[in-house]
A and B are shown apart, each in its own frame.
Chain A
Amino acid sequence: MKPPKFEYYKPATLEEALNLLEEAGDDGKIIAGGQSLVPIMNMRLASPKCLIDINGLEELSYIKNEDNTLKIGTLTRQSDVEQSEMVANVCGLLAEAITQIGHVQTRNRGTIGGSIVHADPSAELPLALLTLNGSVQITSKDEVRTVAAEDFFITYLTTDIMPTEVLTEVTIPLMEEKSGYSFQEVARRHGDFALVAAACHMTVDDEGIITAVRLALGGVEAIPLLIGDAEDILTGEQLSDLLMEQVTESVEMESDPESDLHASSEYRMHLAKVLTKRVLTQAYERARG
């Protein structure tokens, strides 16, 4: 299991990286943490001709709270986010999700941007980003554009990013007062990709009326799936078994999970419904305080 040959470049600036990407065209590939890319290169399932290593771009490694928006540079290591008190204080869902990505040792190297661009449908970060109504900043030589998570994920391992572009920043609007969240998954073992994962972010008023809610699922479609109906069903209501039942009906309508060695399609669908109830219940309880 040795990787195929490639040319290697280590740009010192973002501009240099973008120039290299443009020159390389379809042959170019960014490497950041490498925790998803290098295994598939070692298995020779990926053979990029030209690797552009952005690990030297320290300007892309930061965690900031600006204008009530959490801004995380693409090169920030997952473990840095995990250990950030600020993230724990202002974005509990992200903090909770991140501990479930792989293992300590892969989080030490794996980056925020890398996981999102890899876009595995059961991965934690894409799901968290979608649930939190986050977006990504994408930079090319010609422009900087912002794409909402909802529009970013296209299909299995495929995103809106073009070969000449780099994901540079992840932004997440911060929680309001009286909000709650939940992130739960069922995996075969600790640290495995989820069979199904669910995440919910919710705000409630003093009477326990839900004022806003976002619910999303991982592992049930080719991309992390936002259950848009949840918003319509739950907003303006108190959480009840009946309403949760309605939400799970929407989950069933919108999901189309696949079967594999570890879980049948039917079981994944079942888990989607179970986890939907669990995250709604926990997020609601937390929001009510």
Chain B
Amino acid sequence: MGKHEIEVTINGKVYQEEVEPRMLLSDFVRDVCGLTGTHVGCEHGVCGACTINVNGSAVRSCLMFAIQADGQQVQTVEGLTSNHELTDLQKNFIECHGLQCGFCTAGILMSTEDYLEKNPNPSSKEIKEMLSGHLCRCTGYDGIVKAIEKTIEERNQSVLS
């Protein structure tokens, strides 16, 4: 039951580490790799705070073992941007007051980016259904929905022009 060596690519950077098989991916990302932008809120897959992107899908990092991410591509909130520039979605979260305490925000951003990639034109109802995998106790979700809708609108406009 010793440690296993794993190699995980996170935000383009390779992390080679020894882990116990039981180490949760959320703990690996935060405590081993030091990427504390991913937050842990419930550790049973309901609150959505720890959502990250693994091999092109937004998933709960508290419901995966780090060892399962061996050889995989992972993206966390720290990898959404480079050079301290904000993405359109992040900017709209500011504009629409889509966050307050900010604790649930990283997970929501990771879910939303993945979802919009696969469903570029969701209805309001579909956006809310996607968000139902996240708990936010500050905003009442209103600003979050607005920020996502605004982003979709802008992306559509830029496609047209």
Query: A residues touching B (Cβ–Cβ < 8 Å)?
Result: 1-8, 10, 34-35, 38-39, 42-43, 51, 53, 55, 77, 79, 83, 99, 102-106, 108-109, 189-191
Contact = CB atoms under 8 A, between A and B. Distances in A.
9 nearest interchain CB pairs? Answer: A103-B133, A8-B21, A39-B44, A108-B57, A1-B43, A38-B63, A105-B133, A109-B59, A190-B132
Given A104-B58, A104-B133, A7 B21 contact: yes
A53 B22 CA distance: 13
Contact of A102 (B57, B114, B133): B133
Name the residue in A1, A7, A51, A104 with the highest tally of chain B Cβ atoms < 10 Å from its Cβ.
A104
A122 B147 CA distance: 35
A104 B116 CA distance: 12
A108 B58 contact: yes
17 contacts: A1-B43, A2-B24, A5-B1, A8-B65, A10-B67, A10-B68, A38-B62, A38-B65, A103-B132, A104-B129, A104-B130, A106-B63, A108-B57, A108-B59, A109-B54, A109-B64, A190-B132
A34 B22 CA distance: 13
Interface string B109-148: 0010011001000000000111011000000000000000
Contact of A7 (B1, B59, B114): B1
B62 A42 contact: yes
Given A10-B70, A35-B63, 6 more contacts: A5-B22, A10-B68, A35-B60, A39-B63, A108-B59, A190-B132
A6 B55 CA distance: 25
Nearest to A104: B130
Contacts of B68: 10, 34, 53, 55
Contacts of A42: 24, 43-44, 62
Nearest to A37: B63
Contacts of A99: 129
A3 B62 CA distance: 11
Interface of B is mostly: mixed
A35 B21 contact: no
Contacts of A2: 22, 24, 27, 43
Interface residues of B, number: 33
B21 A1 contact: no
Contacts of B54: 109
Contacts of A8: 4, 21, 65, 67
Interface of A is mostly: loop
B43 A105 contact: no
Interface in B89-112: 111
Interface of B: 1, 4, 20-22, 24, 27, 43-45, 48, 51, 54, 57-60, 62-65, 67-68, 70, 111, 114-115, 118, 128-130, 132-133
A4 B68 CA distance: 16
B39 to A, nearest CB: 14
A265 to B, nearest CB: 26
Contacts of B62: 38, 42
Nearest to A99: B129
A191 B133 contact: yes
A106 B45 contact: yes
B133 A51 contact: no
Nearest to B111: A105
A19 B114 CA distance: 37
Nearest to B2: A7
A38 B20 contact: no
A189 B43 contact: no
Contacts of B22: 2-6
Contacts of B67: 8, 10
